[in-house]
Amino acid sequence: MNVSVVLFTCDLRLHDHPPLRAALDGARQVVPLFVRDRAVTAAGFDAPNRRAFLADCLRDLDAGLRERGGRLVVRSGDVVAEVCRVAAETDADEVHLAADVSAFAHRRERRLRRALEAEGRRLHVHDTVTWAVTPGTVTPSSSDHFAVFTPYFRHWSRQRLRDPLAPPRAVRVPDAVGSGRLPTREEVPERSPGLAAGGEREGRRRLAAWLRSGLAGYADGQDDLAGDATSRLSPHLHFGTLSPVELVHRARRAGGPGAEAFVRQLAWRDFHRQVLAARPEAASADYRTKHDRWRSEDTAHADVEAWRAGRTGYPVIDAAMRQLRHEGWMHNRARLLTASFLAKTLYVDWRVGARHFLDLLVDGDLANNQMNWQWVAGTGTDSRPNRVLNPVVQGRRYDPDGTYVRRWVPELRGVPGPAVHEPWKLGRERAVLDYPEPVVGLADGLARFREARARA
Ligand SMILES: Cc1cc2nc3c(=O)[nH]c(=O)nc-3n(C[C@H](O)[C@H](O)[C@H](O)COP(=O)(O)OP(=O)(O)OC[C@H]3O[C@@H](n4cnc5c(N)ncnc54)[C@H](O)[C@@H]3O)c2cc1C
């Protein structure tokens, strides 16, 4: 066997990459290929922040391959047509690809297999590239997936993970195969000004720093909004510049309560993947409890706009929504609060919020985003679907001094301490603040939610 193609998708790395290793073991030459798939654009999934981060990742992958004597081949168009074209140009026998869970990924895999086999070539799909434990390998006796996290996590924790693979020493790419131009982040308009840098090297640098000085404090600091004490590795996991298998191994090796809490969060990532793999329609349809009384974007237009703009009059919600716009990223606790506020306090269809998150999040990920939104909205896997998070109580608990709010809401910078969470109580001082009144009273929001749920 002479040539194999490796189709990179959301696995943009050289460390611990089973498809690349298999291709190098089986062929003299390998084509590392990335296709800018026009179907992703047509589906509105290549939001500016992810496009900019992706540009960093592709450039870094290309640089890593060049250090090993190779290069990245980039094409644009229909992914199946482009892979077949490259395979034909290089007379490749095999194509290697990482498995993925969405309906889109399943369709891509089926189409690719059919088209390649029609030309006498083989498609190899590799597990444990984009997750640690493969969806469907741990199941309850009565179903094809777990709908509750705790028992899933018990089974997940007992799985033996494969050892991480070293990056290749050399990659030989056929000379004749042409490539399109690599994109740059600078050419992406409307990206967030505070967007993090992408690429495997950057991911590994962040990971090393995290293991050295973040992980130990994670169990205690994970919910501290101002402390910003989470790993911020989510975009690297989304684009696969870091391997989930390697992360679990390295965290476990570090040990301690911080590592345990961190590995648990990585298991949440796999949990949502096994739900979406079994129920791909849950990306847009209510997963467990159906609700059809949501306020739509049209009926709740002003409220939705206030939420998106960070002008709801609830400081912790507004701080979080402004952080999202500025960085393309948000702390998990802030995601819980803003999602609960939209879906429960404003009683707006969770899909409206999930779409906005996907438009801005650099880690915007179908499984994690849609299934977390459903969890918060009470249509998903939360065992307490009727809980409503109070933004004042939560603000005081997770931003006790108000530092997070003052960081993102300049109108409130002059308000000291926790009083910043309730600007309507400020008396005369309130009148001079250019800050909105609450879009809804919390008691009114709660009453609307309870009434709608009682009638559902
Ligand atoms: C409404 C809502 C929407 C979300 N949308 C996304 C999304 O589009 N993409 C995304 O990656 N995460 C999403 N999350 C999950 C979580 O908020 C982020 O993964 C986390 O905030 C990323 O920051 P971090 O890397 O510092 O996380 P850390 O706390 O350092 O956790 C490490 C990793 O574990 C995984 N993880 C952590 N929490 C969760 C969780 N609740 N569910 C699944 N995986 C988790 C992530 O891959 C994360 O990078 C969402 C959560 C909510 C409530």
Q: Do residues 10 and 116 share a domain?
A: yes
Residue 192 within a domain? no
Q: pLDDT by residue (tens digit) across 167-192?
A: 999 999 999 999 999 999 999 999 99
- Among 45, 234, 387, residue to substitute to test ligand 1 (most atoms within 8 Å of Cβ): 234
Lowest mean pLDDT among 285-289, 319-323, 348-352: 285-289
Q: Across residues 266-291, what is the average pLDDT?
A: 94
In terms of domains, do 145 and 272 share one?
yes
Asked if residue 336 has its Cβ within 6 Å of ligand 1, the reply is yes
Q: Whose CA is nearest to atom 49 of ligand 1?
A: 234
Residue 100 maps to a domain: yes
CA of 332 to the centre of ligand 1 (A): 6
Tell me what pLDDT residue 293 has. Answer: 84
Span from the CA of 131 to the centroid of ligand 1 (angstroms): 14
Lowest-confidence segment of 50-59, 113-122, 377-386 by average pLDDT = 377-386
With contact defined as beta carbons under 8 Å apart, do 276 and 366 qualify? yes
Q: CA dihedral in degrees (292, 294, 299, 305; nearest 10)?
A: -140
Query: What is the rounded average pLDDT of the residues 123-138?
Result: 97
* Residue ranges at the known binding site: 218, 230-234, 262, 363-365
- Mean per-residue pLDDT for 230-244? 98
Whose C-alpha lies nearest to ligand 1, atom 40? 268
Instruction: Please give the distance, rounded to the nearest whole angstrom, from the Cα atom of residue 373 to the centre of ligand 1.
Output: 11
Distance CA 135, CA 132 (A): 9
By DSSP bridging, strand 122-126 and strand 29-37 are unpaired
- 206 and 319 share a domain? no
Q: Are 32 and 115 part of one and the same domain? A: yes
The verdict on the CB of residue 366 being under 6 Å from ligand 1 is no
361 lines ligand 1 (CB under 6 A): yes
359 lines ligand 1 (CB under 6 A): no
CB-CB contact of 307 with 341 (8 Å) = yes
- Residue after which a domain boundary falls, among 278, 313, 334: 278
289 occurs within a structural domain = no
Which residues make up each annotated binding site for FAD? Answer: 218, 230-234, 262, 363-365
Check pLDDT > 70 for residue 203. yes
Whether residues 75 and 155 share a domain: the answer is no
79, 84, 87, 89: CA torsion to nearest 10: -110
The answer, yes or no, to whether any atom of ligand 1 lies below 6 A from the CB of 324, is: no
Closest CA to 421 of 395, 397, 398, 444: 395
Return the H-helix or E-strand segment holding 74: strand 73-77
CATH, residue 37: 3.40.50.620
**Cβ(364) to ligand 1 under 6 A?**
yes
Does the pLDDT value for residue 223 go beyond 80? yes
Answer yes or no: do 124 and 138 share one domain. Answer: no
> Residue 281 CB: number of other CB atoms within 10 A?
10
Residue 388 lies in a domain: yes
**Does residue 329's CB lie within 6 angstroms of at least one atom of ligand 1?**
no
Task: Note down the domain range covering 254.
Answer: 131-160+201-278
Residue 189 lies in a domain: no
Statement: residue 195 has pLDDT above 80: yes
* pLDDT of the residue at 1: 53
CATH number of domain containing 262: 1.25.40.80
Residue 172 Cα to ligand 1 midpoint, Å, equals 37
Ligand 1 probe mutation, 156, 220, 243, 363, most atoms within 8 A of CB: 363
**Residue whose CA is closest, atom 4 of ligand 1?**
369
Minimum CA distance residue for ligand 1 atom 12: 368
**442 C-alpha vs ligand 1 centroid, how far in Å?**
27
- The reply to whether 423 falls in a domain is yes
In a domain, 186, yes or no: no
Which atom of ligand 1 sits closest to the CA of residue 358? 8
Question: In whole angstroms, what is the distance from residue 411 CA to residue 309 CA?
Answer: 14
Same domain, 389 and 340: yes
